[in-house]
Amino acid sequence: MKSSDPSIWITGAGGLIGHCLMQTCPSTFRAVGILRGDLDLLDATAVEERFKAEQPSGIIHCAAISKSPVCQQNPALAHQTNVTLTQHLAQLSESIPFLFLSSDLVFDGTQGDYRESDQPNPLSIYGETKALAEELVLRNPNHTVIRTSLNGGQSPTGDRGFNEELRRVLRNGQTMNLFTDEYRSPMAAKVTARALWELLAVKASGIFHIAGAEKLSRYDIGRVLTERWGESHGNILAGRLKDYNGPPRAPDTSLCCDKASQILSFPLPSFTQWLKEHAEETF
């Protein structure tokens, strides 16, 4: 990495995917991590001043309130963080690449195997904010929306990956109710990061789905992980969405990634395949 390499802002660099992007930055780019303690992204003036001073060559925008319960409890803050902030950064990036991390939860889950052309219909406030932000980002035909699914791995704070949440519950001797009829396309965050760097390198624009090549229920994901860790399945409870009384949940937001696969230099792996091929890694 040289000081003359294109500098790419990574917002949310302290999160799971942002951290992986910092760790896997190709030699052709220079990753600049934007951390909450260094810059308040909700301070528009401060963001503009730093943007003008550094003049980044691109932005990969990962920062968000990504926990759905938090969004449900504070919709105003969720909108400010996930929508207004995204709009501001996209406007600053009018003439440079801007990659926005969105979610499979922009869909209602009635169909599954969603393609980029399918119409969003979010059920949660989190999904609503992501869908709104997508529309704003795509007003610039050179900008990019990346929809991804559950991402796992090791985050700096130890609580951003779905695997980290499950492991913490098990270590505390608690139980976790995981639905047998709620499906996602889980992915290792390292794979997501690699795909993002490749899409940036080729200046891909529009919407792309980046997720695991395998649809798994929440319960199956839990069993796969407990088997890897040598843990008992006893604390993993098999739940059903019909018995759930909380905010609406999308039953099947699995993603079809054929479009991205035509561009990427590697196949997007299934989650179970990736775990087997990386048995030596802590996950």
The owner of tokens 């019909």 is 242
The CA distance from 34 to 63, in Å, is 9
Q: Which residues pair with 215 in a beta bridge?
A: none
Report whether 32 contacts 56 (CB < 8 A): yes
Neighbours of 249 (CB within 10 A): 18
The predicted structure's pLDDT at residue 246 = 85
pLDDT of 263 higher than 80: yes
Place of tokens 């699914």: 149
Edge-first strand order for the sheet with 98-103 is 30-34, 7-11, 58-61, 98-103, 144-148, 206-210
| The predicted structure's pLDDT at residue 4 | 65
Give the separation between CA 260 and CA 256, rounded to whole angstroms.
9
Pairing of strands 98-103, 144-148: parallel
Positive/negative CA dihedral, 104, 22, 269, 237: negative
Closest CA relative to residue 152, chosen from 185, 179, 200: 185
Tens digits of per-residue pLDDT, 49-108?
A: 999 999 999 999 999 999 899 999 999 999 999 999 999 999 999 999 999 999 999 999
**pLDDT tens digits along 3-53:** 567 999 999 999 999 999 999 999 999 999 999 889 999 999 999 999 999
* Beta bridge mates, 146: 101, 208
Q: CA-CA distance, 17 to 65, in Å (whole number)?
A: 13
Please determine, for residue 1, whether its predicted confidence score (pLDDT) is greater than 80.
Answer: no
Place of tokens 């798994």: 216
Say if CB 120 and CB 106 are below 8 A apart.
Answer: yes
Percent of the chain surpassing pLDDT 70: 99
pLDDT digits (tens, 9 = 90+) for 109-165: 999 999 999 999 999 999 999 999 999 999 999 999 999 999 999 999 988 999 999
| CATH value of 7-157+187-214+253-276 in 1.10.10.10, 3.40.50.720, 1.10.760.10, 3.40.50.300 | 3.40.50.720
The rounded mean pLDDT for the chain is: 95
- Taking residue 54's Cβ as centre, other Cβ atoms within 10 Å add up to 11
pLDDT in tens, 174-231: 999 999 999 999 999 999 999 999 999 999 999 999 999 999 999 999 999 999 998 8
What gap in Å lies between CA 9 and CA 60, rounded to an integer?
A: 6
Whether 140 contacts 206, CB under 8 Å: no
Integer Cα distance of 16 and 101 in angstroms: 12
- Spatial CB neighbours of 243, under 8 Å, sequence gap ≥ 6: none
Neighbours of 37 (CB within 10 A): 6
